[in-house]
């Protein structure tokens, strides 16, 4: 059973995380949200992470933000089934739990992530610092084999990240300050999903990249009145709504949710509803507000 909350008619209500759990189906393609929270206080939500279920198998994981190790096991996902972990960028709220998730693992994993710049390492350097001969978690080196897949965020064209049978995953750089960051598009048979990641929404070519997707997952980490660093790194709700409308996205999923324009302020359902009101001014399609462990069918 899946639970969806449609905000196309501006029905703005808050659903607690405890009530939103939904088991994924044994057929078709589903997105399960492991973490729907933002970088600060998220009202008990874990930070950004998602599982892609294909015919009942947990095959792909995107991001590994704080609090998602426990959510991974609550979801029923199996490390033996995960073939690809794709990281959007290397901020802690998107990557910090990778060692914890992999700790019980054995076998081989492809790990996709961005090329490096400034203080941020490339995905290869990141994995070397964690799991290499002089890495903090070298103890894992004898049990797992990690193959880095580097996505050049400076490429003007989409980069093919990973392919297996009828699954094709592409990535491209998105504007997130000076942080090398990837937005992903997954084409799985006749279904398509895009993860916009953290970005300002200021690159119109990204809209072309995601055009016509069945499901678009956005990270609404800024409120409409945000200023300073938050607004410099994250799109405002109205911008996300315009992007979804321009891209003709079939279904919008709101995740990585912030509910205040003030850093470290308490989570506020009222502020979330205000942001959703701005979002729906520009996008009139179905909207699901993300909750931890919610499973969304991709039609």
List the domain boundaries for the chain. 17-297
Give pTM, 2 decimals. Answer: 0.92
Helix/strand/coil percent split, the chain, to 5: 25, 30, 45
Continuous H helices in the chain: 68-75, 92-95, 98-102, 123-131, 204-209, 228-233, 237-246, 269-282
pLDDT tens digits for range 110-153: 999 999 999 999 999 999 999 999 999 999 988 999 999 999 99
pLDDT tens digits for range 219-233: 999 999 988 888 899
Which CATH architecture does the domain made up of 17-297 adopt? 4-Layer Sandwich (3.60)
Higher model confidence: residue 209 or residue 18?
209
Distance between CA atoms of residues 226 and 259, nearest Å:
10
Q: In the structure, what pLDDT confidence band is assigned to residue 7 with cuts at 50, 70 and 90?
A: very low
pLDDT tens digits for range 263-292: 666 777 888 899 999 999 999 999 999 999
Distance between CA atoms of residues 131 and 115, nearest Å:
18
């Amino acid at each position: 059973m899946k639970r969806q909350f449609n905000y196309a008619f501006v029905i703005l209500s808050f659903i607690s995380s405890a009530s939103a759990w939904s088991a994924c189906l044994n057929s078709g393609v589903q997105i399960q949200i492991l973490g729907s929270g933002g970088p600060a206080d998220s009202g008990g939500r874990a930070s950004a992470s998602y599982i892609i279920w294909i015919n009942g198998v947990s095959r792909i994981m995107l991001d590994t933000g704080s609090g998602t190790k426990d959510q991974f096991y609550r979801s029923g996902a199996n490390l033996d089934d995960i073939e690809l972990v794709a990281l959007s960028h290397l901020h802690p709220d998107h990557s910090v739990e990778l060692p914890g998730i992999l700790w019980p693992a054995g076998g081989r994993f492809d790990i996709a992530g961005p090329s490096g710049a400034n203080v941020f390492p490339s995905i290869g350097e990141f994995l070397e610092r964690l799991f290499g001969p002089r890495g903090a978690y070298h103890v894992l080196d004898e049990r797992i084999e990690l193959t880095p897949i580097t996505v050049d965020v400076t490429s003007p064209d989409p980069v093919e990240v990973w392919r297996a049978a009828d699954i094709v995953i592409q990535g491209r750089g998105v504007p997130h300050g000076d942080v090398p960051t990837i937005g992903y598009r997954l084409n799985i048979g006749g279904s398509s999903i895009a993860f916009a990641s953290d970005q300002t929404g200021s690159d119109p070519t990204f809209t072309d990249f995601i055009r016509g997707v069945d499901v678009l997952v956005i990270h609404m980490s800024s409120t409409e009145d945000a200023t300073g660093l938050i607004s410099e790194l994250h799109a405002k709700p109205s911008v996300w709504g315009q992007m979804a409308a321009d891209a003709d996205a079939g279904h919008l999923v709101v995740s990585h949710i912030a509910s205040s324009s003030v850093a470290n302020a308490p989570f506020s359902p009222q502020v979330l509803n205000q942001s959703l009101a701005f979002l729906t001014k520009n996008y009139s399609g179905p909207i699901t507000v993300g909750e931890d462990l919610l499973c969304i069918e991709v039609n």
